[in-house]
Chains A and B, each alone.
Chain A
């Protein structure tokens, strides 16, 4: 047994060289570009007009001025005109991306490319940035622009844009828009936009002098069960300084009370569901972190303390793939995550195989020594990463399709990455299940783990199977790393935070039982999510550990006991 461990370290280093070269030669710009690309794809605003003409053009032209009063007039005119094609101009004005040059051209900056386009023609314009000035804006003007943008967005054909507009108006409607909102409501077909419009209208009608109208507003609110109107309803129920109710009409007060009840009930359900899904997603993260361990520890009884570092390597591989994409194929940037999945699997599997061949295979009969040796490996991997990438966290940007949020139901929305992690966890579990139960490799693995001698007698090379099993377990840990890179900070110590948790999942689920790990991970996630508000995050975690320790007293084999003589002591 020659010391292959240092060879392992060197090879790992070599593996990373091409990626590091890319990372270091172009370090800042690769990083920045990744950030910008993600930003641009996230931001759905149009960055240029399609050309303006007639009255719109003549009003927009007048923006080329330093005089804030003139600008105020322009905004008022645009409001009166209410032309959807001026939307990019207003957005640029609001985001401070609108410029004019010495020739009086009005220009819009594209934040992603840094290009400028002429607001009137919509064409890219050659400009020298030193000649550009920005129109002067007061905060009051800016505040006025936002509902205007919202209103104009409502005319769009694109549902997402209409929804963004309605969202703005539902929060800050302007009384003078009431009539137009009602018209739009009559034409709207998308239920979500309709709902937001209703809220905006109801909000305005609550101030109406006619009690009938106010009653109608309250009823609309009750119907859409909007939590954001809760404080308005509560105001209706209050009494003023003289002890008189704020709302003079008893019927309206009655309706408001009912509406409040409905809303609160809905909020409770929403919170419960939200917690549940959030807990499931925390559980999925745990599961992804622990699954590799469940294979290595569960099937091979190898205590791999370097498991956390395999996660870390998976996450760093994702980082490298991201940088490679940003530099070499920016047009495909948003798909880097898909490419990172196989890459992380292969890289970590290779590291795992090196570990197994170099160190672990000499220690199969001595589990406690394996624990120490793999801990040593983990220190080396961690320090290697630190030397190559530095001790700080690196930036892994989520691609656009992975960074929004998903509305599960009204009032329950989760970030896409959280939901994506749940899906990814199921994908990985299914993959592992498939490999274990439907492939020759899986068959051989199960055979060797159950009875080495017998399997060897049947011509299965146990030695080789060990190597592949360890490699596969490590690869799955790498997949976990890909998922983690999207949710937590990626740094050299990433793995350390997950090693204890991962072991708890496996021990709780029953060693050697992958399905058990699935249930224990999801269970732990949900359990701790529900425990957190009661006990606080840290205490919840401590309680969980104590609970697991106690649980293991009661059922040392875990939730799902492995049957047979495997648990025997001699």
Chain B
């Protein structure tokens, strides 16, 4: 029986009291402490948070959001997607198109469209003039692609490594598609040189701070949404699908609907992440869709610990932090580190950092 319960009650049960305390503390830190430290302290203060760090953290938050989305589909449902780079980039392109509109004077069009021999916006560019349309499309474009692709793939029961390979092909094909200049998205330079969003300059430190805070809110809300999903019976069905899909079927559930649901939700979260990421980096190009990026996302989740939402966040933060540091300090070493990370995590940390305690205590028991 479905018991009617107040939504607030259900929300409150997402975490224990301690868990909520941590979540709220982190939220307060991102939304209150960081802005205060950034705005009201001077650079010579020890606690000052410089603008570049705010932007960097804002970007990391977007990537953490991607990790969250990937964990939902891979960690919980056991479906490894190598297509999340494409969803992320699609969200980014949607936002990039809006920003491109914003940077053009009325009546002018960007060079890369002129080169196609046109003097007006192509039809698929026109509606992105509207921010609200863009805001909806950020979710709908990756969501629709995921829905259609997922429907066909799941219906024919493509799974496991096959699914991974096919999603990789999807990513690769999208990358090629966006690389073509004739497609009308700026070819290999992509979209760049953004100026303003809703009338605020995206290059201003203040706007960046707000974008950082928005990213933090997005991560917080998405985290709660994912938490809501995985703690519900739906979440248990997902885990059951991961363990023994055919058994789920013979128990009377239709895995197609469940998989399609998380897959699409996951893609939409990725789209959101991409849309928030682009104004903070100032560029989106097809390189974001390179298959390598999507695989790298998997290692964030694997390092943190699959099937734990916190693990995904921790993993994304750790790997990207490392990447920022190493690519600056020892550029030649980064790929060795990343490659080693892939191998080490799969061989020695099957449950990731979050599973480390369990792994150690589990071993000592034996």
Complex Cα spacing A227 to B336, Å: 56
Residues of chain A lying within 8 A (CB to CB) of residue B156: 552-554, 556
Q: A500-B291, A538-B176 are in contact. Are A549 and B346 (CB under 8 A)?
A: no
Residues of chain B lying within 8 A (CB to CB) of residue A81: none
A495-534: contact bitstring with B at CB < 8 Å (1 yes, 0 no)?
A: 0100110011001000000000000000000000000000
Q: A570 to B335, Cβ gap below 8 A? A: no
Residues of chain A lying within 8 A (CB to CB) of residue B155: 553
Q: A3 to B344, Cβ gap below 8 A? A: yes
Complex Cα spacing A369 to B180, Å: 33
Q: A570 to B246, Cβ gap below 8 A? A: yes
> Does residue B99 face the partner (Cβ distance < 8 Å to A)?
no
Residues of chain A lying within 8 A (CB to CB) of residue B342: 372-373, 375-377, 379
Q: A500-B291, A549-B170 are in contact. Are A507 and B165 (CB under 8 A)?
A: yes
Q: A503 to B160, Cβ gap below 8 A? A: no
Which of chain B's residues 114-161 have a Cβ closer than 8 Å to chain A?
A: 149, 152-153, 155-161
> Does residue B340 face the partner (Cβ distance < 8 Å to A)?
yes
> Does residue A353 face the partner (Cβ distance < 8 Å to B)?
no
Which of chain B's residues 315-356 have a Cβ closer than 8 Å to chain A?
A: 332, 335-336, 338-348, 350
> Does residue B172 face the partner (Cβ distance < 8 Å to A)?
yes
Select A550's contact among B152, B180, B302, B345, beta carbons within 8 Å.
B152
Complex Cα spacing A295 to B298, Å: 26
Q: B164 to A371, Cβ gap below 8 A? A: yes
Q: A373 to B347, Cβ gap below 8 A? A: yes
Residues of chain A lying within 8 A (CB to CB) of residue B245: 569
**For chain B, which range describes its interface: under 10, 10 to 19, 20 to 34, or 35 or more residues?**
35 or more
> Does residue B60 face the partner (Cβ distance < 8 Å to A)?
no
B209-248: contact bitstring with A at CB < 8 Å (1 yes, 0 no)?
A: 0000000000000000000000000000000000011110
Select A383's contact among B159, B161, B339, B345, beta carbons within 8 Å.
B339
> Does residue A457 face the partner (Cβ distance < 8 Å to B)?
no
> Does residue B197 face the partner (Cβ distance < 8 Å to A)?
no
> Does residue A378 face the partner (Cβ distance < 8 Å to B)?
yes
Q: A5 to B343, Cβ gap below 8 A? A: yes
Q: A359-B347, A363-B346, A363-B347 are in contact. Are A379 and B338 (CB under 8 A)?
A: yes
Complex Cα spacing A165 to B141, Å: 63
Residues of chain A lying within 8 A (CB to CB) of residue B338: 376, 379
Complex Cα spacing A49 to B346, Å: 69
Q: B169 to A372, Cβ gap below 8 A? A: no
Q: B164 to A373, Cβ gap below 8 A? A: no
> Does residue B185 face the partner (Cβ distance < 8 Å to A)?
no
Closest to B160 in A: A367
Q: A376 to B180, Cβ gap below 8 A? A: no
Say how far A369's CB is from chain B's closest CB, in angstroms.
4
Complex Cα spacing A553 to B246, Å: 19
Residues of chain B lying within 8 A (CB to CB) of residue A550: 152
Residues of chain B lying within 8 A (CB to CB) of residue A373: 342-343, 346-347
Closest to A297 in B: B161
Q: A362-B347, A363-B347, A376-B343 are in contact. Are A383 and B176 (CB under 8 A)?
A: no
Q: A500-B169, A549-B166 are in contact. Are A542 and B80 (CB under 8 A)?
A: no
> Does residue B52 face the partner (Cβ distance < 8 Å to A)?
no
Residues of chain A lying within 8 A (CB to CB) of residue B246: 569-570
> Does residue A539 face the partner (Cβ distance < 8 Å to B)?
yes
Residues of chain A lying within 8 A (CB to CB) of residue B162: 507, 552, 556
> Does residue A380 face the partner (Cβ distance < 8 Å to B)?
yes
Complex Cα spacing A372 to B295, Å: 7
Residues of chain A lying within 8 A (CB to CB) of residue B344: 3
Say how far B366's CB is from chain A's closest CB, in angstroms.
16
Residues of chain B lying within 8 A (CB to CB) of residue A379: 335-336, 338-339, 342
Complex Cα spacing A252 to B2, Å: 93
Select B161's contact among A371, A375, A386, A496, beta carbons within 8 Å.
A371
Say how far A552's CB is from chain B's closest CB, in angstroms.
6
Say how far A254's CB is from chain B's closest CB, in angstroms.
43
> Does residue B109 face the partner (Cβ distance < 8 Å to A)?
no
> Does residue A382 face the partner (Cβ distance < 8 Å to B)?
yes
> Does residue A142 face the partner (Cβ distance < 8 Å to B)?
no
Q: B164 to A303, Cβ gap below 8 A? A: yes
Closest to A380 in B: B339
Task: Tell me the A residues contacting B by CB distance below 8 Å.
Answer: 1, 3, 5-6, 9, 301, 303, 305, 359, 362-363, 366-373, 375-380, 382-383, 386-387, 496, 499-500, 503-504, 507, 538-539, 541-542, 545-546, 548-550, 552-554, 556, 569-570
